[in-house]
């Protein structure tokens, strides 16, 4: 499907979405780039973004994801994309697209 990490976001977002997968990313800046927001919307992507500072350890990021895992699953089952939810240690909020 996607063989490299240097594939542009506008190319991999629709592929991952078409495969029926949600997207988990640390790249909150995607929401500031029009072409990437357009790709999220056009693909109907279901995206979750770890929102705190990028200097979090892998363990801290995993803690954030596992804290919200059940809610993320419920959202995926009940909401059609496109959407982006921002995850932090204490909250999860839907981002405006």
pLDDT for position 25 = 93
> How many distinct structural domains can be found in the chain?
1
Q: Is residue 25 situated within a structural domain?
A: yes
HSE at residue 6, side-chain half, CA atoms within 13 A, is 0
Show the domain range for 82: 9-94
Q: Is residue 70 situated within a structural domain?
A: yes
Q: Is residue 1 situated within a structural domain?
A: no
Q: pLDDT tens string for the chain (97 positions)?
A: 777 788 889 999 999 999 999 999 988 888 999 999 999 999 999 999 998 777 889 999 999 999 999 999 999 999 999 999 999 999 999 999 9
The answer to pTM > 0.85 is yes
Q: Is residue 21 situated within a structural domain?
A: yes
Q: Is residue 3 situated within a structural domain?
A: no
Q: Is residue 13 situated within a structural domain?
A: yes
Environment class of residue 87 by beta-carbon count within 10 Å: exposed (0-12), middle (13-18) or buried (19+)?
buried
């Amino acid at each position: 499907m996607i063989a490299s990490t240097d594939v542009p976001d506008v190319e991999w977002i629709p592929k991952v979405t078409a495969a029926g997968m949600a997207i988990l990313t640390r790249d909150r800046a995607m929401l500031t780039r029009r072409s990437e927001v357009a790709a999220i919307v056009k693909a109907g992507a279901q995206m979750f973004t770890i929102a705190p500072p990028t200097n979090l350890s892998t363990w801290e990021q995993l803690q954030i994801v596992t804290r919200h895992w059940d809610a993320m699953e419920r959202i995926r089952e009940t909401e059609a994309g496109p959407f982006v939810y921002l995850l932090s240690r204490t909250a999860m909020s839907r981002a405006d697209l």
